Amino acid sequence: MPRKLIFTLLASIAAHAAVAYQLIHKTEEEQHTISMGSVKAPISMTFSTVTLPEPEPQPEPKPKPKPEIEPPPEPEPEPPEPKKDTLVIPDPIPEPEPEEEVVEEEIPEPVIEQVVESALEETEVEGLSDEPVFVSEPEILNWTQPRYPRSAQRRNQQGVVMLEVTVDEDGKALTISVLESSGFDTLDRSAIAAVESWEFKPQRRNNHFVQSRVHVPVAFQLN
């Protein structure tokens, strides 16, 4: 029961008790007066009974809500397997049947001719190696210009020197001789000195490098 309700009931009882006491005390005085004097009509007193209210029923405690259990997530559906491309193999194309090749039988050359030809080649090589081959139009790979002697210039000496040069298998000058002189010894010597350092194209015969002979004209002219 709440304390506030108890205090209210106690205060109500105390108030009723005080009123009852005063009434009793007053009745005694009146009775004393009645006994002493004239008799008066009796006084009726009514006491009210205080009915205490029944305690209100306390509400039953509400049950605690049950925690909501989240359902497990549904598994994601697996992605469909990718379709594999189907490799279509075409039917093999039938290869054409190879045509029969007609093989011509080689008729071997007579052995006598081969022996004769090889003998001729050996003879040519031997002959070429013994005597240098003459080249009418030689090819000069490297050359230096002959020096014009100052003494010949002062004396106004001019002319053309024709030289014959023997060239080895490497294109170098082996020997140099004067076929036709310029008429001046100084000019002839200057031409020979220059041609000694020249380089000619080697000559080949039957797959062999051989010596050669060339004619080289050297001109000395004043402007």
pLDDT value at residue 86: 35
Q: Using a pLDDT cut of 70, give the percent of the chain over it.
A: 49
Q: Give the burial class of 24: count Cβ atoms within 10 A of its Cβ; 0-12 exposed, 13-18 middle, 19 or more buried.
A: exposed
Rg (CA), the chain: 79
Cα–Cα dist 14/50, whole Å: 12
Confidence at 78, pLDDT banded by 50, 70, 90: confident
Q: Where is pLDDT greater, at 87 or 207?
A: 207
Residue 203 identity (one-letter amino acid) = Q
Other residues' Cβ atoms within 10 Å of the Cβ of residue 210: 20
Could you tell me the two tokens for 109? 């050359």
pLDDT value at residue 4: 63
Q: Nearest 10 degrees: CA dihedral of 21, 23, 29, 35?
A: -120
Q: Quick check: 142 and 202 in contact, CB under 8 A?
A: no
**Domain definitions of the chain by residue range:** 1-40, 127-220
Kindly report, residue by residue over 200-223, the tens digit of the pLDDT: 999 999 999 999 999 999 999 998
User: Average of pLDDT values for 116-143?
Assistant: 70
Kindly report, residue by residue over 154-199, the tens digit of the pLDDT: 999 999 999 999 999 999 999 999 999 999 999 999 999 999 999 9
Other residues' Cβ atoms within 10 Å of the Cβ of residue 168: 16
What average pLDDT does the structure give for the chain?
Answer: 72
Nearest to 144 by CA among 218, 202, 223: 218
Class of domain 127-220: alpha beta
Kindly report, residue by residue over 21-54, the tens digit of the pLDDT: 666 665 555 544 444 444 444 444 444 444 555 6
pLDDT value at residue 113: 43
Q: Where is pLDDT greater, at 118 or 156?
A: 156
pLDDT value at residue 81: 60
pLDDT value at residue 177: 96
Q: Where is pLDDT greater, at 74 or 82?
A: 74
pLDDT at 153 over 60: yes
DSSP symbol at 197: T
Residues paired with 176 in a beta bridge: 165
Cα–Cα dist 55/70, whole Å: 43
pLDDT value at residue 35: 42
Write a three-state SS string for 88-153. CCCCCCCCCCCCCCCCCCCCCCCHHHHHHHHHHHHHHHHHHHHCCEEECCCCEEECCCCCCCHHHH
Cα–Cα dist 152/112, whole Å: 65
pLDDT value at residue 47: 43
User: Average of pLDDT values for 97-125?
Assistant: 51
Contacting residues for 48 by C-beta, under 8 A, at least 6 apart: 16
